[in-house]
Amino acid sequence: MTLATSPKPLSISLQSCAKTFGDGTRVLEPLNLDIRAGETLVLLGPSGCGKTTTLRLIAGLEQPDAGGRVLFDGVDVTTQSIESRNVGMVFQSYALFPNMTVAENVGYGLRIRKRPVAEQRTRVAEMLAMMRIEALADRSIDQLSGGQRQRVALARALAVQPRALLLDEPLTALDAQLRDALRVEINQLLRELGITAIYVTHDQTEAMALGDRIIVMSHGRVAQTGTPREIYHQPASPFVAGFIGTMNRLSGEMGPNGFICAAGIVPWQGGHSAASEILFRPEDVRIAGAGEHADLVGTVAAAFFLGDRTRLFIDVGDRQPLVVESMARCTLQLGEAVRMRVDPQGVLDLSSHRASH
Amino acid sequence: MKNHRMLFGLQLAFTLAVCAFLIVPVVLSILAGLTSNYFVGLESGLTLRWVFEVWDGYRDTIFRSIGIALACLLVTLVLGVPTAYVLTRSGSRLSRLVEELLMLPIAVPGLATALALISAYGGMGGFRTSWTFILVGHVLFTLPFMVRSVLAVLASIDLTTLEEGAASLGASFRQRFFDIVLPNCRNGILAGSLMVVTLSIGEFNLTWLLHTPLTKTLPVGLADAYASLRLEIGSAYTLIFLLMIVPLLLAMQAFARPRPRRFISDDPVPESK
């Protein structure tokens, strides 16, 4: 393909970057962050966690508090404005210029750089083809659907061969089906281009699908950094565990044979622990077969048929019912007793992190 | 059914009566300006004599009015558009206050504004007797209209994000202002411009006090004509004024009309082959 972006992907690092707004609100605690060249890093968290502020610090749309530094390939760019940082940005609201056509939008960055007209035209055509929107070249922006707008925004950001691509909740404004389709497309695009990309989202599915690494943020701090698998399987804190995917929680105490709770004993292989709460995911519990040993016993509180599986909410005498997914045809009735087995490998004890949160 | 039709008839008749009440004086005034002798009536015949007489006697006031209106437009553009931009971007409490203060010259009677200007700057002889003295009054009065109409357009677009988008593509402040900000508030600028020109051409309150015998504008000349000359001449003057102002009003109407927004759905997404 002729997509060649900047010759070498960029590595970015933030050194003790904090951000306090004019009214004294601290939106970002001092943050140290190293983004490897060519990786897709997802900043994930609920609104107000500081993820967008972090992106804006990298972009140059915000300045860190005194003492913070932003480095691009080791060069301090803290005082450089966004205009000179050469980063591509994609916004949730698209930020397309309504006074220009699709092609003019895509070519704007090249026009600013005063590239020869012929080169501008070739590059714009290339970008439109890459995003499969050639047919829209002469349309005005208000003649485009949301999905088409986001394609134009991507084409525009990439046309100038930016050193890094920054995406701020690019799919949030789209409906679910289109979001899935475009997510796949963005994923392919980022892999093909090999560009350093920073992707902000509050949607954990998006984060898992796109990120080489995910940084989960909460209250202006990094809650955990890791690959999607690490974040999912070894959450570092109850917050991360609760924010990513569904997590079952049981309270009780450690006994000699496992974790003792109201509904039974959960197998525990983690050695000595004083946990008063353990966590495990729905996929690590299954309905026990007839005659098989059961770890937990409960009654069906609710059942949702999802087609390929049935999601069961099982009352086990704790604050929250357990969530269990049954893949096989499920004929369990409300109020019926259920016997369950828990995979010991999936059982987590995060109690040591309690204090720090 | 019958009742409905009668009600409609009554409403129509009432509407037409109100229209007639408003339009008849205008028509009479136009006719007066074209009639040889208004006191004799239309039998005396139609003529353009009065129109030419006005043209000969008051040509200079017409050109002066147009000149002042264009100068006023230029000043309000240079002052008003950046003002609206800054007010939009800052969005602080102070900027709300400034916005309210800008409205003051509309609320305060023109006579009061004019008197204030005269008592403050009347002593500066050269300034007092020049047409720029009137221009200052007109700018004070029309600037809020320019600022308001540009503000209205700017408030309807997410200017901050558009500018951030442009900046991320390398556009400097100057490039963003001319490539993104100005084109996107074009409609507001056009509407404001027409408003400013129309208001300036027709302004009487302020101008009546600010003018000197050598710096009469069209409306002042009109008052003069009605007060001291034949009714036919005053009416012919009105006719000329209407000919100048009506096209402006029509253009203003055309620009003020909101553009229809099309709703675009995401499915089916037309893919190119």
- Per-residue three-class SS string for A187-227: HHHHHHHCCEEEEEECCHHHHHHHCCEEEEEECCEEEEEEC
Say how many Å lie between the first and final Cα of chain A, rounded: 48
H helix or E strand, kind and range, residue A124? helix A117-130
Contacts of A112 in chain B (CB under 8 A): 169-171, 175
Contact B272 A142 (CB under 8 A): no
- DSSP strands (E only) in chain B: none
ipTM above 0.95, yes or no: no
Residue of A91, A134, A143 lying closest to B264 (CB–CB): A143
Q: Does the residue B132 lie in any domain?
A: yes
User: B168: distance to nearest CA of chain A, Å?
Assistant: 6
Contact B266 A178 (CB under 8 A): yes
| pLDDT reading at B99 higher than 70 | yes
Contact B164 A61 (CB under 8 A): yes
Query: What does pLDDT average to over chain B?
Result: 83
Per-residue pLDDT at A174: 84
Q: Does the residue B170 lie in any domain?
A: yes
| pLDDT reading at A71 higher than 70 | yes
Q: Does the residue B18 lie in any domain?
A: no
What's the domain count of chain B?
1
Per-residue pLDDT at B41: 72
Contacts of A93 in chain B (CB under 8 A): 158, 161
Residue of A23, A53, A82, A177 for testing the chain B interface, max B β-carbons within 10 Å:
A82
A213, burial (CB in 10 Å: exposed 0-12, middle 13-18, buried 19+): middle
Q: Does the residue B67 lie in any domain?
A: yes
**Homologous superfamily assigned to A247-353:** Nucleic acid-binding proteins (2.40.50.140)
Give the whole-angstrom CA distance, residue B132 versus residue A326: 85
Average pLDDT over residues A136-162: 90
- Domain spans of chain A? 12-242, 247-353
Average pLDDT over residues A249-278: 85
| pLDDT reading at A274 higher than 60 | yes
CB contact set of A351 (below 8 Å; sequence gap of 6+): A273, A274, A275, A276, A277
Query: With an 8 Å Cβ cutoff, is A54 touching chain B?
Result: no
Q: Does the residue B2 lie in any domain?
A: no
Per-residue pLDDT at A353: 57
Contacts of A165 in chain B (CB under 8 A): none
Cβ neighbours, 10 Å, residue B167: 23
User: B92: distance to nearest CA of chain A, Å?
Assistant: 12
User: A26: distance to nearest CA of chain B, Å?
Assistant: 20
Query: With an 8 Å Cβ cutoff, is A147 touching chain B?
Result: yes
User: A311: which strand partners?
Assistant: A304, A325
User: What is the DSSP code (8-state) at residue B179?
Assistant: I
Long-range CB pairs of A205-211 (<8 Å, 24+ gap) are A206/A42, A206/A171, A206/A179, A207/A42, A207/A44, A208/A232, A208/A244, A209/A183, A209/A184, A210/A40, A210/A42, A210/A183, A210/A186, A211/A40, A211/A41, A211/A42, A211/A44
Strands A196-201 and A164-168, by their bridges, are parallel
Per-residue pLDDT at A59: 92
User: A11: distance to nearest CA of chain B, Å?
Assistant: 18
Give the whole-angstrom CA distance, residue A266 versus residue A316: 12
CB contact set of A330 (below 8 Å; sequence gap of 6+): A303, A305, A310, A312
Contact B169 A160 (CB under 8 A): yes
Query: With an 8 Å Cβ cutoff, is B261 touching chain A?
Result: yes
Contacts of A95 in chain B (CB under 8 A): 158, 161-162, 164-165
Residue of A132, A146, A174 lying closest to B272 (CB–CB): A132
Query: What does pLDDT average to over chain A?
Result: 88
Q: Does the residue B30 lie in any domain?
A: yes
Pick from A25-34, B90-99, B171-180: least confident: B90-99
User: B169: distance to nearest CA of chain A, Å?
Assistant: 5
Task: Say which amino acid occupies B43.
Answer: E
Residue of A89, A142, A144 lying closest to B261 (CB–CB): A142
Strands A196-201 and A40-44, by their bridges, are parallel
A98 and A142 in contact (C-beta within 8 Å)? yes
User: Is the domain defined by A12-242 classed in CATH 3.20.20.240?
Assistant: no
Percent of chain B with pLDDT over 90: 25
CB contacts under 8 A, B 132-171 vs A, are: 157-158, 161-162, 164-171
- CATH code, domain carrying B248: 1.10.3720.10
Span B39-61, pLDDT tens digits: 777 777 778 778 887 788 778 88
Contacts of B270 in chain A (CB under 8 A): 135-136
Residue of B nearest to A58 (CA): B168
User: A132: distance to nearest CA of chain B, Å?
Assistant: 6
Which three-class secondary structure state does DSSP give residue B210? helix
Contact A160 B165 (CB under 8 A): no
Give me the total of CB pairs closer than 8 Å, taking one residue from chain A and one from chain B.
91
Contact A132 B271 (CB under 8 A): yes
Give the whole-angstrom CA distance, residue B153 versus residue A141: 17
User: A96: distance to nearest CA of chain B, Å?
Assistant: 7
Span A316-350, pLDDT tens digits: 888 889 999 887 777 788 888 888 999 988 888 88
| pLDDT reading at B71 higher than 90 | yes
Residue A297 Cα distances to A269, A341, B216, angstroms: 20, 9, 98
Per-residue pLDDT at A53: 92
Q: Does the residue B167 lie in any domain?
A: yes
Contact B171 A98 (CB under 8 A): no
Q: Does the residue B264 lie in any domain?
A: no
